[in-house]
C-alpha cells in the first residue's frame, strides 16, 4: 500500500489509500467471470442433456460443485483484496482448469448429439453405435476424473499456501478513520500546470451553478475515466464566485465501494464543523433514516452546493440524493460519473454535461508541459511526439502519464520510438503508467462478467478500426457471451450490452445511422492498449501484426492484421479474425481445419482466398463464418456438417448457388449475400442474388435472409415458415406469386426490414393482399417493381423510417397523399416510381423526413413545397428528371436544408443556380452545400 496525502477538493482533507495491488482484483474478477460462464454452461448441460450424461453425470455434478466453491472463494478474495503472488498463480490455475472443462464439454455435447437419432431408423443406428457410445462415455469419464483430481490439487494448493480469507481486509471506512476511495480523485492531481483547455467549461458550469433558478438543480459531468472530470469540478467547486454564492459546500467522494451511512456521517461532520458546532456524539450509532433526517433538517432552509464525485450507478445516486432537501433556495448538486445514463436519469431540471477529450492544440500544450517542463520540443522528436499525442486521443490522464514517463527518458529518437512501439509492455511494467492503468481499469472492474468478455473482445479489432454494430453483436452471440432473456433474442440482448458499454464511456460512438442508432464504434487507443495488456495477462486473446505478436501459450482468441504470419495448431482457439489478409494466408486454411477443432468464429473477410477446403466443415463448434469480399466461388457440399453455424456471410463473393446441405443448419440465424446500398449522394443498386434450395424455408431459427431468388413458387409459399425473420430481401418475384407472398409475409410479425424485387422493371408486384396484416414493426421497406397503385397497407406502417420505391411507374395524381401518413419516415426515394408532372409537399407533411431522392422521373416538371412542409429535411437529391427545369417552388422554406445534389438535370436548372437572378440566389442562399454532377465528378457549386 502507498499512503498518499492529497489536497482533496472538499473539506475536510482526508488521507486517501490507494490499493497498488488493484490489478490482482481485476485478475480475480476475470477468473470469476470465466468460472461463472462455465457454471451456466454446466447447469444448462445438466438440465437439457440428461439423456446424454448417463455414466458421467456424477463427475459433471462434482466439478460443478467444486467450481461453485472456487467462485465463492474468488469473490471473497476480490472483496478482501488478497493480492499475493501465490494468489495470482492460484487464480491462473483455476482459469486454465475451467477452460479445460469447457473444451471437454463442447466436444462431448457435439459428439453425443451427432450420435443421437430419432425414429425407428435412429433407434437401430443407436443400437449399432452402442459400443462406440459406451467407449466414448468411458473416455469422457476418465477425462473428467482427471479434471476432478486437478481441481482437488488446486484446492489443496490454496490451503498449502495459506490463501484463506481473514478479516484483515480494509473496510470502506475503517476504525482509523481513513477514507478508502478508488475514484479519479485519488489518482488525478489538480496541479495548475495540468489544467489545459478548461476555462470555457469552467465558465459554463459556474453559470449553471449561480443562475437565478430557485429550484434545486442537478448538474452531471460525465465522461470516460481519465478525462479530468474531478479536476474540472474541483476547479469549479473552489471558484471564488461559487464559494461566495452558497451558504454551505460539501464534497462527497462516492466511488465504487460505498456505504451510505458512512457517507452521510462524513457529510454531517463537514456541515457541523463548517458551522463551528460540535458534532453530535451519537452520530456513529444512528441508522440511515436518522442520518438522512439530520442532513435534511440542517440544509432545509440553506442554499447549498453538494458535489458527489465518482457516482457509478443510478442506485448510488438514489441512495444519496434523498438526504438533500428539494428546497427553493437556489441549491445545486453536481456529480461526476463515467456512466452517461446516470446523467440522463436525473430528469427534468438537470444539466447533463458530457466532457469531451482535449482538442489537438490543448493536448499538445499539456504534453509539452509534462514531457519538456515547458521547454520547446526538439525538432527531431516532433514527429514522434505528435504520434504519441494522437495516440492519447485527448485524454488528459494519458497525456500527463506518458509525458511524465518520457520526461525521465533520454531525448533521443531511438529511446522515444522504443517507448512508443512497446506501450503495452510499458503499461504492464512501468510504475508511472501503472496508476493510469488502474484508473482506466476501474471502469472494467465495475462491469458484469458477461460485459467484461464483450469489452475485451473489442481488442481483437485493429487500432482505430471502425467496429460495425451488427457485426460485433453477431460475434458476441457466436462466442456465447450473450443468452436469450425470455422473449428477448440474443441479438437484442447483445445490443443492450453495446449500449451499456457506450453509456459507460468504454466504447466511443463514431457514426450513427439515419435513425439515430449506433452504426460504428471504436476503442480509444489508450483504453485499447490497457485492455490488451489485460488480455495478455488473462490469455483472453492475442493479436498478430507486422511489428509484434502478443501473447503465447494457451490462447483462446487470435486476430491477424498487416501480417503474412502463418498460424500453427492451437487446439484451444475459439475465435480467429483476419484483417487485410495477405495471399499467403490461404495456405493456412488446412491448418485451421485440422487443428482448431473447437473454433467458434472464423472471420476471413477481405482475404484473397478462392476456395474453402472440405475439411473446414469438420469445425463442429463453428458458429460464425464470414467470407465477405473474398474470391470464393462455391461452398463445400458438406456444409451441412456445421450443425452449430449461426451466421453465414457470403456478401461480395462469387458464389451463385448454395449447396443443398445448407438445409441441415437448423441453428442458422443469419444468411447474408448481396444487399442494396446507397453511397454518397449517388443511388446505385446491386441486384445480384443467390439461388437457394427450397428447404431453406425449414430453418425456422432464421432471423436474416438476404438477397435470395424466389423463382420457384414453392419457396414463396414456404417463406411463411420463417416466422422469426427480422430481415428479408428477395428477388425474382413474379406477378402470379403476389397473393402467396403476401400470405407468407403476413405471418412474419417480427419483420423489421423487407426488400422485394421483381423479375424485371416491367413485372408487376401484386402486394395489395398484404392488407390488413402487414408486419406491424416494419422499419425499412423497398419495393422494386411495377405497382398499379401504392398499396394501402403502407400508410398503416407507423414504425416505417425508410421507404424506397423503384420502377413503380405510378400515375396517381397525388402520389404523396398515400405516403404522408407515415409519421416517422426519415428516408424517401422515388426512383422511376412516378409518371406524373407535379409533386406537392403540403404543409405539416413528412415531419421527420431528412433525406429525399427524386430519381428518373421523366414527366416531372414542377415540385411544390408549401411552407411548413418537410421541417426536418437535410438533404435533397434530384437525379435524371429531364423536365424539371426550375428550382422546387418553396425551397426557401427549407431552412434546415444542408445539401442539394443535382445529377443529369436540365441545363436551365443548373444555370438558374449558377447564374440566376438575385431572387433565385436568395432562394438557395441558405443551403451550405450545392453539388452538381459533371463528367469529372461532383463539383461543389457553392459553400456559404
pLDDT at res. 683: 43
pLDDT at res. 678: 39
Residue from 165, 26, 166, 28 nearest 93 by CA: 28
Bigger pLDDT: 111 vs 162: 111
C-alpha cell at 17: 489509500
* pLDDT grade for 506, boundaries at 50, 70 and 90: very high
pLDDT digits (tens, 9 = 90+) for 219-278: 999 999 888 899 899 999 999 999 999 999 999 988 777 888 989 998 999 899 888 888
pLDDT at res. 193: 53
pLDDT at res. 741: 95
Q: What is the mean pLDDT of the chain?
A: 81
pLDDT digits (tens, 9 = 90+) for 724-758: 999 999 999 999 999 999 999 999 999 999 999 99
Ranking 330-344, 469-483, 626-640 by mean pLDDT, the lowest is 330-344
* pLDDT grade for 119, boundaries at 50, 70 and 90: very low
CB 704 within 8 A of CB 672: yes
Say what the pTM is: 0.83
CB 910 within 8 A of CB 939: no
What mean pLDDT do residues 80-99 have? 67
* CATH number corresponding to 447-531: 1.10.10
Residue 27 phi/psi, 5-degree rounding, is -60, -45
Q: Which residues contact residue 169 at a Cβ distance below 8 angstroms, ignoring those fewer than 6 apart?
A: 79, 80, 81, 82
Q: Alpha carbon 608 to chain centroid distance?
A: 28
Helix, strand and coil content of the chain, in percent to the nearest 5, comes to: 45, 15, 40
pLDDT over 80 (residue 288): yes
pLDDT at res. 551: 44
* pLDDT grade for 122, boundaries at 50, 70 and 90: very low
CA 722 – CA 717 distance, rounded (Å): 11
CA 719 – CA 741 distance, rounded (Å): 8
CB 587 within 8 A of CB 611: no
Q: Which residues contact residue 262 at a Cβ distance below 8 angstroms, ignoring those fewer than 6 apart?
A: 172, 173
Helix (H) or strand (E) holding 671: strand 670-672
Which ranges of 446-572 does DSSP label H, i.e. alpha helix?
A: 449-457, 469-479, 490-503, 525-538
pLDDT at res. 905: 92
pLDDT at res. 681: 36
Cα-Cα end-to-end distance for the chain:
60
pLDDT at res. 81: 46
Say what percent of the chain tops pLDDT 90: 44
CA 621 – CA 598 distance, rounded (Å): 5
pLDDT at res. 165: 44
* C-alpha dihedral sign at 210, 211, 215, 221: negative
CA 712 – CA 705 distance, rounded (Å): 16
Bigger pLDDT: 554 vs 547: 554
Residues facing residue 508 across a β-bridge? 522
CA 536 – CA 417 distance, rounded (Å): 22
CA 224 – CA 526 distance, rounded (Å): 12
Query: CA distances (Å), 451 to each of 30, 123, 496, 507, in order?
Result: 11, 43, 10, 12
Buried (b) or exposed (e) across 594-619, using 16+ Cβ within 10 A? eebbbbbbbbbbbbebeebeeebbeb
Residue from 344, 412, 399 nearest 369 by CA: 399
* C-alpha dihedral sign at 406, 409, 411, 415: negative
CB 729 within 8 A of CB 708: yes
Q: Alpha carbon 860 to chain centroid distance?
A: 44
pLDDT over 80 (residue 567): no
* CATH number corresponding to 539-672: 3.80.10.10
Burial class for 5, CB neighbours closer than 10 Å (0-12, 13-18, 19+) = exposed
What mean pLDDT do residues 15-28 have? 40
Q: Alpha carbon 76 to chain centroid distance?
A: 31
Cis bond upstream, residue 538 (ω within 30): no
Judged by phi (left if over 0) then psi (alpha if -120 to 50, else beta), residue 637 lies in alpha
Pairing state of beta strands 304-311 and 332-337?
parallel
* pLDDT grade for 448, boundaries at 50, 70 and 90: confident
pLDDT at res. 111: 64
What mean pLDDT do residues 477-506 have? 91
Domain ranges of the chain: 20-160, 181-354, 360-429, 447-531, 539-672, 862-943
* pLDDT grade for 31, boundaries at 50, 70 and 90: low
Bigger pLDDT: 128 vs 611: 611
* pLDDT grade for 29, boundaries at 50, 70 and 90: low
Rounded (5°) CA angle 34-35-37: 65
CA 150 – CA 159 distance, rounded (Å): 15
pLDDT over 50 (residue 218): yes
Bigger pLDDT: 676 vs 782: 782
Coil, strand or helix at 829: strand
What mean pLDDT do residues 377-381 have? 92
Cis bond upstream, residue 12 (ω within 30): yes
pLDDT over 90 (residue 828): yes
pLDDT digits (tens, 9 = 90+) for 165-198: 443 333 333 333 333 333 344 333 445 555 677 8
pLDDT at res. 685: 46
* pLDDT grade for 869, boundaries at 50, 70 and 90: very high
pLDDT at res. 886: 93
CA 832 – CA 760 distance, rounded (Å): 13
Pairing state of beta strands 508-512 and 518-522?
antiparallel
Residue from 572, 664, 648, 654 nearest 610 by CA: 654
pLDDT at res. 668: 96
CA 127 – CA 492 distance, rounded (Å): 42
What mean pLDDT do residues 474-481 have? 93
Residues facing residue 577 across a β-bridge? 559, 603
CA 884 – CA 866 distance, rounded (Å): 18
Helix (H) or strand (E) holding 126: helix 119-128
pLDDT at res. 255: 78
Pairing state of beta strands 899-903 and 2-5?
unpaired
Say what percent of the chain tops pLDDT 70: 76
pLDDT at res. 604: 92
CA 325 – CA 297 distance, rounded (Å): 8
Residue from 4, 464, 347, 392 nearest 228 by CA: 392
* pLDDT grade for 676, boundaries at 50, 70 and 90: very low
Q: Look at the chain and count its residues.
A: 944
CATH class, domain 181-354, is: alpha beta
Bigger pLDDT: 527 vs 561: 527
| Grid cell 433558478 in the structure block, residue | 213
pLDDT over 80 (residue 516): yes
CA 527 – CA 504 distance, rounded (Å): 13
Amino acid at each position: 500500500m502507498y499512503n498518499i496525502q492529497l489536497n482533496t477538493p472538499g473539506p475536510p482533507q482526508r488521507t486517501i489509500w490507494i490499493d497498488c495491488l488493484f490489478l490482482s482484483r481485476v485478475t480475480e474478477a476475470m477468473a470469476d467471470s470465466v468460472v461463472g460462464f462455465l457454471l451456466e454452461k454446466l447447469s444448462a448441460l445438466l438440465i437439457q442433456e440428461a439423456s446424454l450424461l448417463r455414466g458421467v453425470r456424477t463427475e459433471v455434478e462434482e466439478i460443478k460443485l467444486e467450481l461453485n466453491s472456487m467462485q465463492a472463494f474468488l469473490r471473497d478474495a476480490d472483496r478482501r483484496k488478497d493480492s499475493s503472488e501465490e494468489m495470482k498463480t492460484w487464480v491462473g490455475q483455476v482459469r486454465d482448469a475451467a477452460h479445460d472443462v469447457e473444451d471437454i464439454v463442447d466436444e462431448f455435447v457435439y459428439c453425443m448429439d451427432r450420435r443421437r437419432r430419432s425414429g425407428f431408423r435412429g433407434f437401430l443406428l443407436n443400437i449399432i453405435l452402442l459400443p462406440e457410445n459406451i467407449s466414448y462415455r468411458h473416455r469422457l469419464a476418465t477425462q473428467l476424473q482427471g479434471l476432478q483430481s486437478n481441481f482437488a490439487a488446486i484446492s489443496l494448493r490454496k490451503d498449502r499456501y495459506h490463501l484463506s480469507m481473514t478479516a484483515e481486509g480494509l473496510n470502506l471506512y475503517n476504525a482509523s478513520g481513513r477514507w478508502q476511495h478508488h475514484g479519479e480523485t485519488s489518482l488525478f492531481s489538480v496541479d495548475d500546470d495540468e489544467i489545459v483547455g478548461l476555462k470555457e467549461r469552467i465558465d459554463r458550469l459556474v453559470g449553471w451553478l449561480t443562475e437565478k433558478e430557485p429550484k434545486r438543480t442537478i448538474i452531471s459531468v460525465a465522461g470516460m475515466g481519465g478525462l479530468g472530470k474531478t479536476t474540472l469540478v474541483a476547479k469549479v467547486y473552489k471558484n471564488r464566485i461559487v464559494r461566495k454564492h452558497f451558504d454551505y459546500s460539501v464534497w462527497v467522494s462516492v466511488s465504487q465501494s460505498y456505504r451510505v451511512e458512512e457517507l452521510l456521517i462524513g457529510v454531517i461532520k463537514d456541515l457541523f464543523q463548517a458551522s463551528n458546532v460540535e458534532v453530535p456524539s451519537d452520530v456513529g450509532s444512528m441508522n440511515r433514516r436518522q442520518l438522512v433526517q439530520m442532513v435534511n433538517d440542517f440544509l432545509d432552509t440553506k442554499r447549498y452546493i453538494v458535489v458527489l464525485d465518482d457516482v457509478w450507478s443510478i442506485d448510488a445516486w438514489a441512495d444519496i440524493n434523498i438526504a438533500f432537501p428539494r428546497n427553493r433556495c437556489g441549491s445545486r448538486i453536481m456529480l461526476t460519473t463515467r456512466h452517461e445514463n446516470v446523467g440522463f436519469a436525473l430528469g427534468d431540471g438537470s444539466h447533463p454535461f458530457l466532457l469531451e477529450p482535449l482538442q489537438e492544440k490543448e493536448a499538445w500544450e499539456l504534453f509539452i508541459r509534462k514531457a519538456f517542463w515547458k521547454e520547446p520540443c526538439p525538432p527531431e522528436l516532433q514527429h514522434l511526439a505528435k504520434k504519441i499525442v494522437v495516440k492519447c486521443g485527448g485524454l488528459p490522464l494519458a497525456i500527463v502519464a506518458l509525458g511524465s514517463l518520457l520526461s525521465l527518458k533520454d531525448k533521443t529518437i531511438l529511446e522515444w520510438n522504443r517507448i512508443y512501439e512497446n506501450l503495452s509492455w510499458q503499461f504492464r511494467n512501468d510504475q508511472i503508467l501503472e496508476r493510469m492503468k488502474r484508473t482506466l481499469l476501474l471502469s472494467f472492474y465495475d462491469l458484469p462478467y458477461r460485459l467484461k468478455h464483450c469489452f475485451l473482445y473489442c481488442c481483437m479489432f485493429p487500432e482505430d478500426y471502425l467496429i460495425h454494430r451488427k457485426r460485433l453483436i453477431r460475434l458476441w452471440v457466436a462466442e456465447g457471451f450473450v443468452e436469450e432473456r425470455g422473449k428477448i433474442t440474443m441479438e437484442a440482448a447483445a445490443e443492450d450490452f453495446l449500449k451499456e458499454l457506450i453509456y459507460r464511456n468504454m466504447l466511443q460512438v463514431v457514426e450513427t445511422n439515419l435513425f439515430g442508432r449506433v452504426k460504428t464504434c471504436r476503442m480509444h487507443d489508450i483504453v485499447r492498449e490497457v485492455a490488451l495488456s489485460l488480455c495478455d495477462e488473462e490469455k483472453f486473446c492475442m493479436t498478430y501484426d507486422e511489428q509484434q505478436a502478443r501473447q503465447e501459450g494457451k490462447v483462446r482468441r487470435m486476430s491477424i492484421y498487416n501480417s503474412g504470419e502463418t498460424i500453427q495448431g492451437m487446439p484451444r482457439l475459439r475465435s480467429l479474425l483476419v484483417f487485410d489478409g495477405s495471399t499467403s494466408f490461404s495456405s493456412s486454411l488446412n491448418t485451421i481445419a485440422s487443428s482448431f477443432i473447437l473454433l467458434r468464429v472464423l472471420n476471413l473477410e477481405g482475404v484473397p482466398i478462392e476456395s474453402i477446403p472440405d475439411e473446414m466443415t469438420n469445425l463442429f463448434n463453428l458458429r460464425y463464418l464470414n467470407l465477405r469480399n473474398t474470391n470464393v466461388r462455391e461452398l463445400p457440399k458438406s456444409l451441412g456438417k456445421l450443425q452449430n453455424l449461426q451466421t453465414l456471410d457470403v456478401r461480395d463473393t462469387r458464389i451463385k448457388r448454395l449447396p443443398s446441405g445448407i438445409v441441415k443448419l437448423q441453428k442458422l440465424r443469419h444468411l447474408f449475400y448481396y444487399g442494396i446500398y446507397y453511397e454518397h449522394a449517388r443511388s446505385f443498386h446491386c441486384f445480384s442474388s443467390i439461388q437457394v434450395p427450397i428447404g431453406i424455408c425449414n430453418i425456422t431459427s432464421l432471423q436474416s435472409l438476404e438477397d435470395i431468388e424466389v423463382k420457384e413458387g414453392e419457396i414463396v409459399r414456404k417463406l411463411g415458415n420463417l416466422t422469426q425473420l427480422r430481415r428479408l430481401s428477395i428477388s425474382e418475384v413474379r406477378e402470379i406469386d403476389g397473393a402467396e407472398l403476401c400470405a407468407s409475409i403476413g405471418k412474419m410479425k417480427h419483420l423489421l426490414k423487407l426488400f422485394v424485387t421483381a423479375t424485371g422493371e416491367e413485372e408487376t408486384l401484386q402486394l395489395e393482399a398484404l392488407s390488413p396484416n402487414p408486419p406491424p414493426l416494419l422499419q425499412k421497406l423497398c419495393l422494386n417493381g411495377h405497382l398499379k397503385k401504392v398499396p394501402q397497407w403502407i400508410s398503416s406502417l407507423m414504425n416505417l423510417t425508410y421507404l424506397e420505391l423503384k420502377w413503380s411507374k405510378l400515375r396517381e395524381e397525388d402520389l404523396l397523399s398515400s405516403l404522408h401518413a407515415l409519421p416517422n419516415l426519415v428516408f424517401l426515394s422515388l426512383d422511376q416510381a412516378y409518371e406524373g408532372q407535379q409533386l406537392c409537399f403540403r404543409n405539416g407533411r413528412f415531419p421527420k423526413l431528412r433525406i429525399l431522392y427524386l430519381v428518373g422521373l421523366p414527366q416531372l416538371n414542377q415540385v411544390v413545397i408549401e411552407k411548413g412542409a418537410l421541417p426536418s429535411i437535410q438533404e435533397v437529391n434530384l437525379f435524371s428528371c429531364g423536365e424539371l427545369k426550375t428550382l422546387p417552388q418553396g425551397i426557401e422554406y427549407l431552412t434546415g436544408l444542408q445539401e442539394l445534389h443535382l445529377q443529369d438535370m436540365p441545363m436551365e436548372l443548373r444555370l438558374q443556380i449558377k447564374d440566376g437572378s438575385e431572387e433565385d440566389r436568395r432562394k438557395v442562399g441558405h443551403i451550405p452545400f450545392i453539388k452538381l454532377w459533371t463528367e469529372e465528378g461532383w463539383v461543389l457549386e457553392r459553400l456559404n
